[in-house]
Amino acid sequence: MKMMKTILAVLFYFCLDYVMREWLGFGSLGYWALSVPNFLLLVMLLKRNYQEHKQVH
């Protein structure tokens, strides 16, 4: 179940990433300003899920 959530989070991140670049046409500065916090959020999610997963076993 946790793995599924992680996969969904990753897919959502890449979809958001794509939409911002392709549809909204952000320049590189705007793109990085939005991409970096999203990436950090994704890393935090992955770390939290991994720690919870380790505790279960």
44 has a pLDDT exceeding 80 = yes
So what's the pLDDT on residue 32? Answer: 66
Write down the domain spans for the chain: 2-56
So what's the pLDDT on residue 26? Answer: 57
Contacts of 2 (CB under 8 A, 6+ apart): 49, 52, 53
**pLDDT tens-digit profile of 12-41?**
878 777 777 776 665 555 666 677 777 888
Burial class (CB in 10 A: 0-12, 13-18, 19+), 27: exposed
Q: What is the pTM of this model?
A: 0.40
So what's the pLDDT on residue 27? Answer: 55
